[in-house]
Amino acid sequence: MEFIVKAENLVYKYVAPSSSDENSAGDTTDAGVPLLALNGINVGIKKGEFVAVLGHNGSGKSTFAKHINCLLQPTSGMVWVNGISTADEETIWDIRQSVGMVFQNPDNQIIATIVEEDVAFGPENLGIPPSEIRKRVDEALATVGMSEFAGNPPHHLSGGQKQRVAIAGILAMRPDIIVLDESTAMLDPNGRKEVMKVVKQLNEEEGITIVFITHYMDEAALADRVIVVADGKIVIEGTPAEVFSQIDELKAIGLDVPQAAEIVHKLRNHGINLPQGVVTPQHLVEELEKCLLK
């Protein structure tokens, strides 16, 4: 099976910052102590797949995301993107051209004073001819539903609109993969819906591979596959239905489940015959209607 992203025995250690300040218990932080962030990750992501990566804070999910476009490189083990090893310094630029990253705070990614100029920034750095840049900017803004705001200052936009502009800036560079690292964490519910709609569209209509780092279970339920990370290891993996049926296991590592799955779990405990694997509100309504019609 051909994978667009593949990790084998991926280990990443980072060094604790030095500190001579004593904490409240009277202890001192040891400077230079390696801390294990990823501990033997083995995973493959297929071209065109939509994969959600879940985990509590400090689990290693964002550290894994940063290995996909070489923001970090393995302490040991290997990562390949489009068949290219991220350990090869000479091909890092090639990988970064094929992997776009969208981070948590859109204000940290938007640098221009006009929306369309910001979207053009990436292609300009790639040396794309001006006529092609114009075409790409128009297409990217249309794809994320922001064409009417092309001439607006970004600071006049809502959080969801800003994040869509950030995604447009990535799209204009024509990546094969988009990694979204907690990109809805700072948005209100409407902003999150806006971004998720765009993400699903890019995956289903444009065929772009999506790696979606999140702590929102309802967002993860929309993915093709869910990977759960805890203490730097993959502990659960499967379709949303398979993963979110393991409610006790998820709660044991500090994670919740989609609201629909929680409702089904409680109803099943009260003797109502609903199937496991219900993870979306629409699916829940359908199953409840079947029960009522019996």
pLDDT digits (tens, 9 = 90+) for 164-173: 999 999 999 9
Tokens of 174: 């024509």
Q: Which of 152, 74, 142, 81 lies closest to 118 in space, CA to CA?
A: 152
If asked whether residues 149 and 262 sit together in one domain, one would say: no
On average, the pLDDT of the chain sits at: 88
pLDDT digits (tens, 9 = 90+) for 254-263: 898 888 888 8
Q: Can you give the pLDDT at residue 19? A: 55
If asked whether residues 105 and 224 sit together in one domain, one would say: yes
If asked whether residues 161 and 278 sit together in one domain, one would say: no
If asked whether residues 100 and 213 sit together in one domain, one would say: yes
Tokens of 123: 């292609």
If asked whether residues 270 and 139 sit together in one domain, one would say: no
If asked whether residues 202 and 288 sit together in one domain, one would say: no
Q: Please name the residue that has the structure tokens 């092309």.
A: 150
In the chain, how many domains are there?
A: 2
Alpha-carbon torsion (8, 62, 126, 138), positive or negative:
positive
Q: Please name the residue that has the structure tokens 């994670």.
A: 255
Question: Is 210's pLDDT higher than 70?
Answer: yes
The answer to whether the beta carbons of residues 104 and 182 sit under 8 Å apart is yes
Going by the DSSP 8-state scheme, the letter that residue 57 receives in this structure is T
Sheet holding 34-45, edge to edge: 34-45, 5-15, 76-81, 84-85
Mean pLDDT along residues 121-137: 92
Buried b (16+ CB within 10 A) or exposed e, 125-158: eeebeeeebeebbeebbebbebbebbebebeebe
Of 63-67, 218-222, 285-289, the least confident: 285-289
pLDDT digits (tens, 9 = 90+) for 55-99: 988 899 999 999 999 999 999 999 999 999 998 888 888 898 899
User: Measured at the alpha carbon of residue 181, what is the angle toward residues 143 and 103, in degrees to the nearest 5?
Assistant: 70
